[in-house]
C-alpha cells in the first residue's frame, strides 16, 4: 500500500512540475495580450489626440490667415486696393483731391459716427465742461438694449461725459449730454440738423445723439464734410484720439478703464488727428479718421464693412497704397525710375467741402 502511495505522490509531483511551465506560459501569454491591448489603446488614444491637435492647429492657422487677409497684412500697396467697406471716400485734406471713392453718394445709416455731430452741438452751446451731470433712466438704451458701465445715478463732469461718448462711444454719456442741453433732447436733435444744414450736409439726417437708431443717415461725401468740420474743434481731436482713460466712478472700488474703440488709436503706430468708429447691424462696421500719410493730411471714410478687422484692414490698405504711390512719385520725379503711378479718375456727386 505504501508502495502505491509513493508512486502516486511521485506522479502528482511530476505532473505538477510538468504543468507549472504551462501555467507560467499561459500567464505570460495573458500578460502579453493585455500589454498589447493596452499599447493599442494608448496608440489609438494618441492618434485621436494628435488628430484633435492637428485639427485645432489647422483651425488656428486658417483663422490667423483670414485675420491677416482682413487686416491687409499681405497687401503691399502696388495695386489698386480692394476694399471690404461698401462706401468709401479718401480725400486730401489740404487740396480736396479725391484719392479713392466707392459708392460715396449713397445714403446709409452711420451708427456712432453720429457722435461727431453730437460733440459739435455740445461745444457750440458753450456749456461748462466742469459742470456735473448725471446718468438717469432717460439715458438707458431702449433702442438696441446695449449695456454700459455708467450705472444709473453716475455723476461725472460734462467734460468726462464728452470724452467717453467720443473715445469709448458710451451711449449713455451721449444721451446725458443731449438731456442736459438747453431745451432737452428734442432741442438737441433739432440743433444737430440745423448744424448739418449749415455745414452743407444735404444728404444727412439725425434722429438722436448716439447713432443707435438707423434713421441717423448720411453719405461718405457728407461725412467728409462732417469730419473736416469736427477737426476744427481741439476738444474733439483730443477726445477721439485718447487711447485709454481711467475714471473714478461712484460705487466702484477702483478706477474704471475705458479704451478707444479704434484699435489703430490704441496701437499708437498711426499719426491720427481725429477718429470715430460706429456699429449697428443696419450700418455695419464704420470708421472715419483724419490722419497723415506720407506727410499729407488725409480724411478717410469707411462705411458698412462686415467686420471690425475688415474696416481696419481697409484703412491699412489705403495707407499702404498712398505711401507706395508717394514713394514711387518721388523716385519718378528724381528720374531714377519711370514708373506709372496708379491714380484712378474718380468723380464726386457734389462739391467737396473745403475751409
Catalytic residues: 112, 115, 169
Residue 271's CB is within 10 A of a number of other CB atoms, namely 12
**Helix residue ranges per DSSP H, the chain:** 2-70, 114-124, 158-167, 171-179, 184-198, 220-230, 234-240, 263-267, 308-333
What DSSP element (H or E) covers 98? strand 98-102
Instruction: Write the DSSP symbol of residue 77.
Output: S
Q: Going by C-beta distance under 8 Å and a sequence separation of 6 or more, which residues neighbour residue 178?
A: 118, 184, 185, 188, 189, 208, 209
Q: Nine-digit cell at 1?
A: 500500500
Q: How far is CA 63 from CA 43, 58, 68, in A?
A: 30, 9, 9
| Rounded-to-integer distance, Cα 111 and Cα 87, Å | 14
| Rounded-to-integer distance, Cα 302 and Cα 309, Å | 12
Contact 156, 132 (CB under 8 A): yes
Burial of 27 (0-12, 13-18, 19+ CB in 10 A): exposed
| Rounded-to-integer distance, Cα 290 and Cα 310, Å | 18
Q: Going by C-beta distance under 8 Å and a sequence separation of 6 or more, which residues neighbour residue 215?
A: 109, 205, 207
Q: Going by C-beta distance under 8 Å and a sequence separation of 6 or more, which residues neighbour residue 340?
A: none
Amino acid at each position: 500500500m505504501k508502495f502505491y502511495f509513493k508512486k502516486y505522490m511521485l506522479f502528482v509531483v511530476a505532473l505538477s512540475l510538468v504543468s507549472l511551465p504551462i501555467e507560467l506560459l499561459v500567464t505570460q501569454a495573458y500578460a502579453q495580450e493585455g500589454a498589447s491591448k493596452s499599447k493599442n489603446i494608448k496608440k489609438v488614444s494618441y492618434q485621436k489626440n494628435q488628430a484633435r491637435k492637428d485639427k485645432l492647429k489647422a483651425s488656428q492657422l486658417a483663422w490667423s490667415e483670414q485675420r491677416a487677409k482682413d487686416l491687409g497684412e499681405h497687401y503691399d500697396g502696388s495695386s489698386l486696393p480692394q476694399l471690404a467697406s461698401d462706401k468709401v471716400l479718401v480725400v486730401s485734406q489740404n487740396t480736396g483731391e479725391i484719392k479713392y471713392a466707392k459708392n460715396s453718394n449713397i445714403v446709409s445709416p452711420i451708427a456712432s459716427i453720429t457722435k461727431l455731430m453730437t460733440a459739435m452741438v455740445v461745444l457750440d452751446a458753450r456749456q461748462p465742461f466742469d459742470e456735473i451731470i448725471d446718468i438717469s433712466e432717460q439715458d438707458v438704451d431702449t433702442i438696441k438694449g446695449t449695456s454700459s458701465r455708467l450705472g444709473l445715478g453716475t455723476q461725472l463732469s460734462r467734460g468726462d461725459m464728452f470724452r467717453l461718448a467720443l473715445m469709448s462711444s458710451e451711449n449713455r454719456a451721449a444721451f446725458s449730454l443731449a438731456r442736459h442741453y438747453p431745451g432737452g433732447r428734442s432741442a438737441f436733435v433739432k440743433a444737430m440738423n440745423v448744424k448739418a444744414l449749415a455745414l452743407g450736409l444735404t444728404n444727412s439726417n439725425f434722429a438722436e445723439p448716439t447713432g443707435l437708431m438707423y434713421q441717423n443717415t448720411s453719405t461718405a461725401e457728407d461725412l467728409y464734410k462732417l469730419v473736416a468740420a469736427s477737426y476744427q474743434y481741439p476738444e474733439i481731436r483730443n477726445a477721439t484720439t485718447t487711447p485709454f482713460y481711467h475714471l473714478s466712478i461712484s460705487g466702484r472700488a477702483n478706477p474704471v478703464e475705458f479704451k478707444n474703440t479704434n484699435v489703430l488709436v490704441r496701437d499708437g503706430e498711426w499719426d491720427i488727428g481725429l477718429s470715430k468708429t460706429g456699429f449697428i447691424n443696419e450700418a455695419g462696421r464704420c470708421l472715419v479718421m483724419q490722419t497723415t500719410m506720407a506727410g499729407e493730411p488725409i480724411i478717410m471714410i469707411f462705411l458698412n464693412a462686415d467686420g471690425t478687422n475688415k474696416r481696419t484692414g481697409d484703412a491699412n490698405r489705403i495707407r499702404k497704397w498712398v505711401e507706395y504711390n508717394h514713394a514711387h512719385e518721388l523716385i519718378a520725379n528724381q528720374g531714377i525710375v519711370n514708373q506709372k503711378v496708379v491714380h484712378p479718375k474718380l468723380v464726386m456727386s457734389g462739391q467737396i467741402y473745403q475751409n
